[in-house]
């Protein structure tokens, strides 16, 4: 390898390394802040029976049966809300259902499912100890 | 790509995950870490059983690694024909004999982007299969059960964990490339100074 090529290789390695380390370092820092903000749920409530109530977690890759189980809502309710048959649509993601049935309205399936879930899931209300009467 | 894979994982479960990690180990650029963390969360939500899924994924990824090791092993002959006798090759082979096991172990879960090149190098560089397998099994166990465990622990918030770990992996890769660049620069500088010293003063 000639000296000039050697120099180019070394410079390219250092520049790529700096670029990757800088870029991912900053992204790691940002992600770490988010990571710290999201503490894992307490161990005793970490069973699979816990009902999810945050509808902001709905994503385009999810399927209707998956969402139904996650939020413990009958799948039929979700199919009915979208006005589509369950047959042949069980394996399809929300994104794909949107492309097939509602191509003119972006994210229609996601928004509708979120609205239906909000109306159907029971959000547990916090219980307070009675105030001591003086 | 990751959206499609996530949908298929919830549709077909552990066998699909097995296929993803197997082909990922052969060099197909699937977002393996993201899928493993997501599957951990799916296990917590009760969609998959963590022990069966974990065992299938672990077996498949190790099989994929062994296959890419074999590719390197059978490519050894042509590589040796070209470079075999050279000092640099012998030096590189000795270096890999010394550090190979640890690099196999660390690239399973920490710098996953380097896993396939390391598998090929391990096969070509004559790292014994037993040593490779021992380091591979332990490293992949951390990847599957450790990362999957994080997904299980964080449940529906698995995306945050995945973003963080992917960025850390990219950062480490950057640091390693930078370190290699600096090491090469220092070696070249040292050689240049030695050559200058050898030239007699007139």
What DSSP string describes chain B? -HHHHHHHHHHH-HHHHHHHHHHHHTT----HHHHHHHHHHHHHTTSS-HHHHHHHHHHHHHHHHHHHHHHHHHTHHHHHHHHTTSHHHHHHHHHHHHHHHHHHHHHHHTSGGGHHHHHHHHHHTT--HHHHHHHHHHHHHIIIIIIHHHHHHHGGGHHHHHHHHHHHHHHHHHHHHHHHHHHHHHHHHHHHHHHHHHSPP-
In this complex, the residue of B2, B157, B174 whose CB is nearest that of residue A38 is B157
Residues of B with CB under 8 A from a CB of A: 2-4, 6-7, 10-11, 44-47, 153-157, 160-161, 163-164, 167-171, 173-182, 184-185, 188
From A31's Cα to the closest Cα of chain B, the distance in A is: 5
For residue A19, the chain B residues in CB contact (below 8 A) are 174
- Selected for mutation to probe chain B from A66, A68, A94, A110 (highest B CB count within 10 Å) is A66
What's the pLDDT at B181?
92
Is residue B72 within 8 Å of residue B79, measured between CB atoms?
no
Instruction: Give pLDDT tens digits for B35-69.
Output: 999 999 999 888 888 889 999 999 999 999 999 99
What's the pLDDT at B154?
82
In this complex, the residue of A21, A57, A60 whose CB is nearest that of residue B178 is A21
Q: Which residue of A has its CA nearest to B159?
A: A35
Instruction: Give pLDDT tens digits for B121-157.
Output: 888 887 888 999 999 999 999 999 999 998 888 887 8
Are B182 and A14 within 8 A, CB to CB?
A: yes
Are A20 and B160 within 8 A, CB to CB?
A: no
Q: What is the mean pLDDT for each group of 10 consecutive residues in chain A (134 residues)?
A: 83 93 91 72 52 80 90 87 88 91 87 84 62 69
pTM over 0.90: no
From B135's Cα to the closest Cα of chain A, the distance in A is: 27
What's the pLDDT at A96?
92
Q: Which residue of A has its CA nearest to B186?
A: A10
What's the pLDDT at A119?
81
Q: Which residue of A has its CA nearest to B168?
A: A28
In this complex, the residue of B2, B163, B178 whose CB is nearest that of residue A18 is B178
Q: Which is more confident, B119 or B90?
A: B119
């Amino acid at each position: 390898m000639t000296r000039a090529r050697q120099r180019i290789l070394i410079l390219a390695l250092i520049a790529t390394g700096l670029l990757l380390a800088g870029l991912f370092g900053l992204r790691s820092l940002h992600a770490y802040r988010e990571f710290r903000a999201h503490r894992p749920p307490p161990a005793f409530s970490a069973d699979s029976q816990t009902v999810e109530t945050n509808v902001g977690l709905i994503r385009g890759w999810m399927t209707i049966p998956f969402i139904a189980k996650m939020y413990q809502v009958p799948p039929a309710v979700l199919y009915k809300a979208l006005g589509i048959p369950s047959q042949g649509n069980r394996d399809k993601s929300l994104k794909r259902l949107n492309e097939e049935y509602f191509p003119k309205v972006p994210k229609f399936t996601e928004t509708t499912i979120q609205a239906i879930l909000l109306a159907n899931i029971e959000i547990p209300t916090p219980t307070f100890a009675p105030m001591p009467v003086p | 790509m990751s959206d499609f894979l996530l949908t298929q994982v919830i549709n077909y479960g552990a066998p699909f995950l097995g296929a993803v990690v197997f082909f990922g180990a052969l060099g197909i650029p699937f977002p393996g870490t993201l899928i493993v963390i997501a599957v951990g969360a799916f296990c917590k939500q009760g969609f998959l059983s963590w022990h069966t899924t974990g065992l299938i994924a672990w077996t498949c990824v190790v099989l994929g690694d062994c296959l890419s090791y074999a590719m390197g092993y059978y490519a050894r002959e042509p590589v040796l024909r070209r470079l075999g006798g050279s000092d640099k090759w012998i030096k590189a082979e000795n270096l890999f004999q010394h550090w190979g096991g640890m690099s196999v172990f660390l690239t399973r879960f920490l710098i996953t982007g380097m896993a396939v090149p390391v598998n090929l190098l391990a096969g070509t560089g004559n790292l014994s299969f037993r040593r490779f397998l021992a380091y591979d099994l332990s490293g992949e166990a951390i990847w599957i059960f450790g990362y999957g465990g994080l997904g299980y622990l964080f449940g529906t918030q698995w995306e945050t964990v995945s973003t963080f770990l992917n960025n850390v992996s990219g950062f480490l890769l950057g640091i390693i490339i930078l370190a290699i660049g600096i090491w090469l620069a220092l070696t070249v500088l040292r050689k240049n100074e030695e050559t200058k010293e050898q030239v007699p003063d007139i």
